Each structure stands twice: as C-alpha cells, then as structure tokens.
C-alpha cells in the first residue's frame, strides 16, 4: 500500500568546513540568501510538498537553528506597536507549530547516511524525504512537490537528478541508467564520485530524496559493519541491487550548490535579481560593475 509522505529529515550536522571561518560560530544553514536563511528555503519547499513533521539532525554549535524556529514574542510585540505589519507577517511565517519540529543529535559527523539513520525512530515505518538545505532549488513547482507526484505514481525510492558536464561527474553520485522514461529514470546502479572517465552517465544525484523504510534497514546493516563514514548512497545502492525499486527524477528548476562559495555567490545574484524590491537597482549595479571590469582589462 502506498503511503502519503508527511515527514522530512534535514541533516544539518556537518562541519561546514568550506565556509570557515564563518561556520566557526554560525551554522551554514543560517547563512542568508538575500534576507532568508538557507534553512527557510528548505522548510518552505517541504511544506509545499505536504510535509507536516520536520526532523532536524543537528550537532554541537547549531543552537542558532533551534532559536530561528522559535516564536519571538518581544520582537513581534515591538513590530506590532510600530505598525510594521508586513515585517510582522514575514516574521510569523518562520514560526513552527508546537510539536511539528524535532531535533536529534548526531554526536560525531559520521556521514550523511549516518545522519539519516539517527532519525530512524522518528521516521518509523513510513516513507520520508531527505532535504539537504545547502542545495537550493529555484523552481516554479517546488522540487520536492514534483518528486511527491512521481512518488505517488511509482511508490518507489526517488532521488533528484540533473545532467552535469562530463568533466564534473567525479564530484557527484552518478546514476547508471537502466531505462530512461524522462523525467523518471529507472536505475540499475549508483556510483559515488566516479573516477574521471568512468562515470556510467552524466546524471548526477543532488540533495533531495524520497525514501522508503527499507533504506533505514540497509543503513542499520551498513552501520553494523563499517568503521568510517556511512554513505546514504551505499544504502540506496543496496536497495537497487535487492529490489530495483529506485528511480532518478529529472526535476524542472535550477539548483544552486550553496555548500560551495561559488554556488552561494551565484545564488545570491540570482535571488537578488529576482526580487521586485531589489532587482532593478542590483541589475544596474551589476551592469556597471561588469563594464568597469571590462574597461580595466
Ligand atoms: P557536506 O558534504 O556539504 O558536508 O554535507 P558539510 O560538513 O556540511 O560541509 P563541508 O564539506 O565541510 O564544507 C552534506 C549535508 O549532509 C549533512 C550536512 O550538514 C549537509 O547538510 N551531514 C554531513 C550531516 O548531517 N552529518 C554528517 O556527518 C555529514
């Protein structure tokens, strides 16, 4: 029997070393694209896909994240007194209802698979989404919502996928395609960061997944055996071997790798330009900047 997706795991326990020194005291997920933290984009996407239970896998030093989702009564009262209703609404939209959000600790950063496994008791015997907040996806229909529609059709595990240039395949998990039924792709395998020239395709997995409870079972078994990092890819690869019940999904939209500095800057430009209140001024500035750089060359 197919079950509705209502839970999402947000693994945010990584060290965020690529953004040091900022991430010495600020969780990566609190860093802002224009004026909203990365985590807000992820939460909004999950909500739009029907998610009602939000599970954060956190670590030491992430308390700013927990505070972010708390109500802020003093701030709300001050904005109300000042008649700043629009700001008040913006602020209230970040509140999470009591009991909708749970925090689980990952004591050591033992990999994404391990972080997901940490949430096993909260997930129970239900399908669940995994959202990596540092992948920000700009899409007309939010990416996870597109995936939920595909999940309702197949009932299988779904991983978001996008074409990457052949020179970039070694930076991603890459799908070995059995049958391409665009946008869904039946897969016969998945290789993590293949050596250059050995990738089975150029279809790369990015940070959105809808997974069945069987994946937790695989993580359980992998955890028993492995000493080092526990990869989510390995658990999905096992499921492909055992049941073949795994699909890639080519989403419609543009993904920004906000876990990297270059990707974060690109997203900042794209989201800044898209804003009605900032876009025109920002555009003029960029045009002037580019002209100055060109003239100086
Ligand atoms: P990354 O590979 O981006 O690692 O993790 P990171 O630690 O966040 O950043 P860098 O590479 O050191 O700069 C992908 C996602 O998996 C989570 C991260 O928080 C991020 O959302 N993760 C990774 C965990 O929750 N636990 C881990 O042990 C590893």
The more confident residue out of 72 and 119 is 119
Asked if residue 227 has pLDDT above 60, the reply is: no
pLDDT of residue 2: 59
**SS3 assignment, position 104:** strand
Q: Token digits for 236? A: 């999905």
Residues 6+ apart with CB under 8 A from 97: none
Q: Measured in angstroms, how far is the CA atom of residue 131 from the centroid of ligand 1?
A: 12
Domain range 7-259, its CATH number among 3.40.50.620, 3.40.50.300, 3.90.550.10, 3.30.1340.10: 3.90.550.10
Total residues belonging to the chain: 297
Helix 261-274 crosses helix 279-296 at what angle (to 10 degrees)? 130
Ligand 1 atom showing the smallest separation from residue 106 Cα: 26
Q: Measured in angstroms, how far is the CA atom of residue 13 from the centroid of ligand 1?
A: 6
Q: pLDDT confidence of 163, banded at 50, 70, 90?
A: very high
Structural domain spans, the chain: 7-259, 261-297
**pTM to 2 decimals?**
0.93
Asked if residue 118 has pLDDT above 60, the reply is: yes
């Amino acid at each position: 029997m197919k079950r509705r997706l209502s839970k999402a795991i947000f693994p945010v326990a990584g060290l965020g070393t690529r953004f040091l020194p900022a991430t010495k005291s600020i969780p990566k997920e609190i860093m802002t694209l224009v004026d909203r933290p990365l985590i807000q984009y992820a939460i909004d996407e999950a909500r739009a896909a029907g998610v009602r239970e939000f599970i954060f896998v956190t670590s030491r030093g992430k308390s700013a994240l927990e505070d972010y989702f708390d109500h802020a009564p003093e701030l709300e009262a001050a904005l109300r007194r000042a008649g700043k209703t629009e700001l008040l609404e913006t602020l209230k939209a970040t509140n999470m209802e009591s009991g909708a959000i749970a925090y689980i600790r990952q004591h050591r950063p033992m990999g994404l698979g391990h972080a997901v496994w940490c949430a096993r008791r909260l997930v129970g015997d239900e399908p669940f989404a995994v959202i990596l907040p540092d992948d920000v996806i700009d899409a007309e229909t939010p990416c996870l919502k597109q995936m939920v529609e595909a999940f309702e059709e197949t009932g299988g595990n779904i991983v978001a996928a996008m074409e990457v240039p052949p020179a970039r395949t070694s930076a991603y998990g890459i799908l070995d395609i059995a049958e391409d039924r665009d946008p869904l792709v039946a897969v016969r395998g998945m290789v993590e960061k293949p050596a250059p020239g050995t990738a089975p395709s150029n279809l790369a997995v990015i940070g959105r997944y809808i997974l069945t409870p069987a994946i937790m079972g695989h993580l359980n078994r992998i955890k028993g055996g492995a000493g080092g990092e526990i990869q989510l890819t390995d658990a999905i690869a096992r499921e492909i071997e055992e049941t073949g019940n795994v699909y890639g999904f080519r989403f419609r939209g543009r993904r920004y790798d906000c876990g990297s500095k270059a990707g974060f800057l690109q997203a900042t430009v794209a989201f800044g330009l898209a804003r009605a209140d900032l876009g025109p001024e920002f555009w003029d500035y960029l045009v002037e900047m580019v002209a100055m750089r060109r003239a100086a060359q």
